[in-house]
Amino acid sequence: MRVILSLLITLLVVVPAAAGGDSLGAAIDGEHRSAPDKQRDEHRHPRETMEFFGIRPDMTVVEIWPASGWYMEILGPYLKDAGTYYAAGYSLEAKRTPDWRKKAQGELNDKIEANPGLYGEVIVTGLSVPQDTDIAPADAADLVLTFRNVHNWMKGDYAPAMFEVFFETLKPGGILGVVEHRAPEEADIAWMKQSGYVSESHVIELATSAGFELVGRSEINANPKDTKNHPFGVWTLPPALRMGERDIWTWLAIGESDRMTLKFVKPADGD
SS3 128: strand
Give, to the nearest 10 degrees, the angle between helix 99-114 and helix 72-79.
40
Asked if residue 257 is part of any domain, the answer here is: no
Band (pLDDT 50/70/90 cuts) for residue 13 is very low
Which tens digits make up the pLDDT trace of 87-140? 999 999 998 999 999 999 999 999 999 999 999 999 999 999 999 999 999 999
User: What residue numbers bound the domain in which 100 lies?
Assistant: 2-158
Q: Kindly state whether residue 78 falls inside one of the protein's structural domains.
A: yes
Cβ burial of 176 (10 Å; 0-12, 13-18, 19+) is buried
Whether 237 maps to a domain, the answer reads no
Q: What is the mean pLDDT of the chain?
A: 92
Instruction: Yes or no: say if 96 and 132 are a contact pair by the CB < 8 Å rule.
Output: no
Query: Cα(19)–Cα(21) distance, rounded to whole angstroms?
Result: 6
CATH of the domain at 52: 3.40.50
Residue 236 lies in a domain: no
**pLDDT over 70 (residue 251):** yes
Residue 170 has a pLDDT of 98
- Please check whether residue 151 lies inside any domain of the structure: yes
- Count the domains in the chain: 1
Residue 38 resides in a domain: yes
- For 171-205, the pLDDT digits (tens) are 999 999 999 999 999 999 999 999 999 999 999 99
175 within domain boundaries: no
The bridge status of strand 141-147 relative to strand 60-64 is parallel
- Report how far residue 39's alpha carbon sits from residue 81's, in angstroms, rounded to the nearest whole number: 27
AA letter at 33:
R
AA identity, residue 51: E
pLDDT digits (tens, 9 = 90+) for 125-158: 999 999 999 999 999 999 999 999 999 999 999 9
Residue 17 falls inside a structural domain: yes
